[in-house]
Amino acid sequence: MIITSMLKSPILDKELKEHLAAITEDGRDIFLIADDQIRVTAANCTGLVNQMRVNHRTGLLESYVLGQAYIAGILLSSCVKGDDRIQLQIECGGPIKGISVESWACGAVRGYLMNNPIPLEKPLQSLDTSDLFGPGFLSVSKILEGSKEPVTGTVMINYGNIAKDLALYFTESEQTPTLIYISLKYDEKGNIVGAGGLFIQALPGCEDAVLDALQEKAKALPNLGLLLSRGESTEEYVLSTFSEFAPRKLAHSSVGFSCPCTKEGFRNYLKALPQKEKEEILRGSFPLNLECFNCGSTYSFEKSEVETLFSQEEKK
């Protein structure tokens, strides 16, 4: 179960709300295929990407880029268990500047774009995002429960495409043949009506012939975002697309856009500020609005509330 305390902005588009209610709920399914030689994780993230969009107030392009990173985070966190989590970090020289996404084994994800909106010198002519990223680095960190330090691997950005650069990361850093496929479907109004992804990895001892067959299959995968927008489930997609590999379902879990931020957490932040900064805040305008950059939640504080908060600290 995903428990969240963040403030969710409402999705106001009536047609979009009806569409989201009519299609299959978000979720993540894990399969083994080809006599258990290949692990396939499939995720439907249509609802959570739309919630991300309204919370972060992202435009078409920003939703496309950050939505891919959220889907990638959901896919990656299928590799950890319990309270473990994954951090996906991109630092780059292009107009995106960077992306930070954090996902938990339970299926929760949050994160942000360094530049929102993404500054463009001219309108994009295609969905090729390579120029938006430019040179840079992609890092994946596993933060395991009980470990003092995260386990981190880094690769240079080669493609300027989150799915391809992540696949490269696993091939280079973990020597694991990997395919990652991420798909977002927009309607004519610019709404995201289908969003999901696949995370396909070879298990130890996988035969070369199986890898070759999957590489050929990957050249013409059915459009996942489109099929999700029509109400198909990820289970139906995998069973149909990989039927010749005899898929065997292992698990299903829910997924969601979630952040553990709270107003109380921001109160503690204010209380810990140096005295000089507290005085500057009291001289400023109110209400004081503090935004969580990971989820876009905005917590408001009236002047009387802040004065009481600061005075309580002085008495300690």
**pLDDT tens for the chain, residues 1 to 316:** 555 578 999 999 999 999 999 999 999 999 999 999 999 999 999 999 999 999 999 999 999 999 999 999 999 999 999 999 999 999 999 999 999 999 999 999 999 999 999 999 888 888 899 999 999 999 999 999 888 899 999 999 999 999 999 999 999 999 999 999 999 999 999 999 999 999 999 999 999 999 999 999 999 999 999 999 999 999 999 999 999 999 999 999 999 999 999 999 999 999 999 999 999 999 999 999 999 999 999 999 999 999 999 988 666 5
Domains, the chain, ordered by start: 14-257 (3.55.30.10), 263-315 (3.90.1280.10)
Q: Which residue has the tokens 């319990």?
A: 82
The angle, 0 to 180 degrees and rounded to 10, between the axes of the packed helices 162-173 and 60-76 is 30
- Give dist(CA 37, CA 35) in Å, integer: 6
Using DSSP, state whether 126 is helix, strand or coil.
coil
Q: What are 199's strand-pairing partners? A: 41, 180
Closest CA to 110 of 63, 52, 192, 47: 52
Strands (E), 1-145: 27-33, 38-44, 85-92, 98-104, 108-113, 136-143
